[in-house]
């Protein structure tokens, strides 16, 4: 799934716990009638994907939806959801900052070859 918006907040990398788990958060604001402010987490080696971005840039972020269950001390189940980013690209230059996708020329259906004798 992809989310498109303008970077509103770009946080630094946090190191959590004793095992060195790394997390970096970005907030984007969507461009729609009722704009949404969406928090997206990048974890571990994906934190570096945000290094070349700045507040105010228009981006497209590929995400996975994550959900988890937690049972509180009273035995009641609580549920948490998050957006986990795995790719980001700048929209105004179509420059992909990770996992580049090669750009190809659009197929032309007009054949200017006079030796082509196909009827279509």
Q: Inform me whether the pLDDT recorded for 15 exceeds 60.
A: yes
pTM of the model: 0.70
Does residue 82 sit within a domain?
A: yes
Q: What are phi and psi of 47, to 5 degrees?
A: -60, -35
What's the whole-number average pLDDT of the chain? 85
Does residue 120 sit within a domain?
A: no
> Residue 79 is part of a domain; what is its CATH number?
2.40.50.140
Does residue 7 sit within a domain?
A: yes
Does residue 108 sit within a domain?
A: no
Domain count, the chain: 1
Instruction: Return contacts of 13-17, CB within 8 angstroms, 24+ apart.
Output: 13/47
* Confidence category of residue 32, pLDDT binned at 50, 70, 90: very high
pLDDT, average across residues 92-97? 52
Does residue 48 sit within a domain?
A: yes
Domain span holding position 60: 2-90
pLDDT tens digits along 46-74: 999 999 999 999 999 999 999 999 999 99
Does residue 100 sit within a domain?
A: no
Q: Inform me whether the pLDDT recorded for 116 exceeds 80.
A: no
């Amino acid at each position: 799934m992809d989310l498109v918006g303008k970077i509103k907040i770009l946080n630094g990398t946090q190191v959590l716990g004793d095992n060195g788990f790394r997390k970096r958060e970005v907030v984007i604001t969507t461009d729609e009638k009722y704009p949404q402010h969406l928090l997206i987490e990048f974890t571990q080696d994906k934190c570096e994907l945000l290094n070349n971005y700045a507040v105010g840039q228009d981006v497209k972020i590929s995400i996975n939806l994550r959900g988890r269950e937690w049972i509180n001390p009273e035995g009641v189940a609580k549920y948490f959801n998050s957006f986990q980013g795995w790719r980001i690209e700048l929209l105004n230059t179509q420059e992909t900052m990770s996992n580049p996708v090669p750009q190809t020329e659009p197929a032309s259906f007009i054949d200017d070859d006079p030796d082509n004798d196909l009827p279509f």
